[in-house]
Amino acid sequence: MIDWIRTAEMAEVIFYGILVGLILAEVILRYIIRVAKGNVILEYVDSGLIAVLLALVIRTFVVQAFKIPSSSMEKTLLIGDHLLVNKFIYGTHIPFTDNEILRLRDPKRGDIIVFKYPLNTRRDFIKRCVGVPGDTIEIKDKVLLVNGYAQDEPYVIHRDLDLYPRATGNPRDNFGPVTVPPNAYFMMGDNRDYSADSRFWGFLPHKLIKGKAWAIYWPITRWRLTQ
């Protein structure tokens, strides 16, 4: 099952490399060639660097675009939807580290979140948060219970009429109970019968969160805020 968002981590390395290269190029241009202050070429270089730096700040700390490649979040998010993801609401990650700053709030139940897949952090997943630290999660015959109460989830769909009993060992339809540990979350896809989520790979550590899905911006006919 392909259930991840293609974000190309190598592209980010190349992006930062180009940025450093441009900065070094301007330093060399100023120091060695000694271009005059009012030179048109230097002005273009300065403008280009400002644009690159602005794009870097926005992409790293504010918002980033993602594309949905799988059906695990249908009908909320469809294959081919292009999303804008808020990268600062849960805390901004300092590039190439797990450190974060400026956390506005913690994830809450119902948030749609983009995160690094815990079993392969080079891939990005998108799921809905259904459990926060301290919650007890259980699934009985496809019904999600949080702290013992069945949840009202109008966005969830079930497309498979088969029901896997607990005895089969398949956790899709009967699972738990488990308690969500500190700094972790329980994630599930809205297309419950076809989603590789916390039922199969466990809790999501907070440090792997990249941001909150904010809006669908393409196709234009699908434009809307995700929540």
Per-residue pLDDT of 178-223, as tens digits, reads 999 999 999 999 999 999 999 999 999 999 998 899 888 888 888 8
Domains and CATH numbers, the chain: 63-225 (2.10.109.10)
Q: Which positions are catalytic?
A: 72, 127
The answer to whether the beta carbons of residues 91 and 105 sit under 8 Å apart is: no
Looking at the whole model, is its pTM more than 0.85? no
Residues facing 218 on adjacent strands: 82
Task: Give the pair of three-digit tokens for residue 89.
Answer: 């609401």
* Average pLDDT of every residue of the chain: 80
**DSSP labels for 59-122?**
IIIIEEEEE--SSTTTTTS-TT-EEEEESSTT-EEPTTSS-EE-------TT-EEEEE-TT-TT
Whole-angstrom Cα distance, residue 34 to residue 109?
58
With 0-12 / 13-18 / 19 or more C-beta atoms within 10 angstroms meaning exposed / middle / buried, residue 173 is buried
Task: For residue 223, count other CB atoms closer than 10 A to its CB.
Answer: 11
With 0-12 / 13-18 / 19 or more C-beta atoms within 10 angstroms meaning exposed / middle / buried, residue 133 is middle
Per-residue pLDDT of 89-145, as tens digits, reads 887 766 666 666 677 789 999 999 999 999 998 888 999 999 999 999 999 999 999
Picking from 143, 160, 169, the residue whose alpha carbon sits closest to that of residue 194 is: 160
Whole-angstrom Cα distance, residue 193 to residue 115?
21
- φ, ψ of residue 192 to 5 degrees: the values are -60, -30
